[in-house]
Amino acid sequence: MFNKIKKLPLRIRHTFYYDLKAAMLFGIYGGCILPFIPIIGRKIGATEFQIALLTAAPYIATAFAIFWTEDILGKGRVWYVVWPNVIGRAVLFSMLFVSNPYLYTLVIFIFMVITAIPFPSYASVMKTNYPDRERGKLMGYVRVGSACFWILSSLIAGWILEASTFNYRYIFPAATVFGILSALEFGKIRVKPEKREKTEGLSHLTAPLKNRQFRKFIIIYSVFEFGLLLWLPLYPLILVDKVHISNITTGIFGAIYSGMWLAGFFFWGRFIDRHTLSNSLRLFFAITAIIPFIYLTTYNIWFLAIAQAVAGITFAAIELIGYIVITRMSEHKETPRYMAVYVVFGGIRGATAPFLGTMLMKNFSAETAIAVSLMFIAAAFISAHFAKEV
């Protein structure tokens, strides 16, 4: 791997070096916090609605990224990646004083909204600094570095939380230090200065939808992710209420997820670079369908661990597909706009599907909600199979 990287131009190697350092620090931060957010929420008394909100928060929050598609402050794209992440992650220092589910949900939501600001600019930096033919592979390597540290930190955090769930009040702030250091490392990346263009108002943000290929991708992907998000809030509810999962097992699940996340980035980075988008989507949808299928048929902890492994592969693809597809389909100056449209649709899905999932579970059963989730994923697979090349 590193021999191939050494042959790349200096600017690409410079970007990769700091991107990788930032990712490894993020792995420590993310592994201690992100796998535990919904499980801890439920264990400290969060309602079904609050769990749905915690699940939906990152998707709703990304919709606000539409306001940051242009460099409105003239600071350069890297600035929009670094400082919103520093400020947003610093919000988690307040967890030292949070012990009830209402404040917990509010703090997490604020954290998610602020840390969603970087998405369009991060896509722009990846477009500028990584070549099209190597982007998936390089981004995959970076995520591998992140996942290695994520595995270790999630196991340690689960062990500490096993003594008391309320130890999150200390783990979250401690991990936040690494999250802030990660953002500052990313700030050392250099990109060419951009010409500031006159803002044309929000109407210019709909321009990517005129791209037929992109529009087809958004429709098919939205059907798929609606089904996945419908299932997602059921995950902590089932694990806490029905399986009675321990915190140490949650940490182990986080490590399993991270290990397969690591393998997933390595696999998907190469696969997406070498195959058409339609083929990538079909395989991706088929693999993802395994998760709700397992939850539909059994709550056996060993099978749920398999589902967790599949989830790692799935979410590795989710993170890579958006960036790679958008940077392929867009010109450089249009990349933030494409990313903004992509995340706004994600916000719409996130603002509806998780709440529908918990509503179906409450009024019918978890099995009903999971079956509906599978139907949406199957519909997306069929659409991707019969659609002309996306």
- Residue carrying structure tokens 């131009």: 9
∠ at Cα 292 (345, 105), nearest 5°? 55
Question: Has residue 41 been placed in a domain?
Answer: yes
Q: Say whether pLDDT at 252 is over 90.
A: yes
Q: Say whether pLDDT at 93 is over 90.
A: yes
170: domain CATH number?
1.20.1250.20
Which of 141, 267, 142, 125 lies closest to 194 in space, CA to CA?
125
Phi-psi region of 193 (alpha: psi -120 to 50; beta: other; left: phi over 0): beta
Q: Say whether pLDDT at 341 is over 60.
A: yes
Q: Say whether pLDDT at 261 is over 90.
A: no
Rounded Cα distance, 390 and 387, in Å = 7
Quick one: three-class SS letters along the chain? CHHHHHCCCHHHHHHHHHHHHHHHHHHHHHHHHHHHHHHHHHHCCCCHHHHHHHHHHHHHHHHHHHHHCCCCCCCCHHHHHHHHHHHHHHHHHHHHHCCCHHHHHHHHHHHHHHHCCCHHHHHHHHHHHCCCCCHHHHHHHHHHHHHHHHHHHHHHHHHHHHHCHHHHHHHHHHHHHHHHHHHHHHCCCCCCCCCCCCCCCHHHHHHHHHCHHHHHHHHHHHHHHHHHHHHCCHHHHHHHHHCCCCHHHHHHHHHHHHHHHHHHHHHHHHHHHHCCHHHHHHHHHHHHCHHHHHHHHCCCHHHHHHHHHHHHHHHHHHHHHHHHHHHHHCCHHHHHHHHHHHHHHHHHHHHHHHHHHHHHHHHCCHHHHHHHHHHHHHHHHHHHHHCCCC
Under 8 Å between Cβ of 291 and 314? yes
pLDDT of residue 65: 63
Summary mean pLDDT of the chain: 85
Q: Say whether pLDDT at 390 is over 70.
A: no
Percent of the chain with pLDDT over 90: 49
pLDDT of residue 380: 94
What's the domain count of the chain?
1
pLDDT of residue 279: 86
Q: Say whether pLDDT at 357 is over 70.
A: yes
pLDDT of residue 66: 65
- pLDDT: which is higher, 149 or 201: 149
Which of 272, 291, 305 lies closest to 224 in space, CA to CA?
291
Could you read off the pLDDT of 181-238 as tens digits, one per residue? Answer: 999 998 888 876 655 554 444 555 667 777 888 888 889 999 999 999 999 999 999 9
- pLDDT: which is higher, 199 or 334: 334
pLDDT of residue 215: 86
What number is the average pLDDT over the span 128-139? 76
Distance, C-alpha 57 to centroid of its chain: 11
pLDDT of residue 204: 54
Question: Has residue 289 been placed in a domain?
Answer: yes
Question: Has residue 197 been placed in a domain?
Answer: no
pLDDT of residue 103: 96
What number is the average pLDDT over the span 9-14? 77
∠ at Cα 88 (85, 92), nearest 5°? 125
What number is the average pLDDT over the span 98-102? 93
pLDDT of residue 201: 47
Question: pLDDT category, 262, cuts 50, 70, 90?
Answer: confident
Could you read off the pLDDT of 48-62 as tens digits, one per residue? Answer: 999 999 888 888 877
Q: Say whether pLDDT at 1 is over 60.
A: no
Rounded Cα distance, 146 and 55, in Å = 22
CA end-to-end distance (rounded Å), the chain: 30
Question: Has residue 3 been placed in a domain?
Answer: no
Q: Say whether pLDDT at 325 is over 80.
A: no
Question: Has residue 271 been placed in a domain?
Answer: yes
Q: Say whether pLDDT at 68 is over 60.
A: yes
Whole-prediction pTM value?
A: 0.82
Question: pLDDT category, 387, cuts 50, 70, 90?
Answer: confident
Which range is least confidently modeled, 56-70, 197-211, 346-360, 371-385? 197-211
CB-based contacts of 270, cutoff 8 Å, min separation 6 = 136, 137, 140
pLDDT of residue 74: 64
Give the CA radius of gyration of the chain.
Answer: 20
Alpha-carbon torsion angle 156, 158, 160, 161, nearest 10: 160
Q: What is the domain range of residue 107?
A: 9-191+208-386
Distance, C-alpha 154 to centroid of its chain: 17
Amino acid code (one letter) for 79: W
Question: Has residue 38 been placed in a domain?
Answer: yes
Question: Has residue 201 been placed in a domain?
Answer: no
Percent of the chain with pLDDT over 70: 88
Question: Has residue 198 been placed in a domain?
Answer: no
Q: Say whether pLDDT at 332 is over 70.
A: no
Which of 336, 56, 342 lies closest to 218 in space, CA to CA?
342
Q: Say whether pLDDT at 2 is over 60.
A: no
pLDDT of residue 283: 92
pLDDT of residue 271: 84
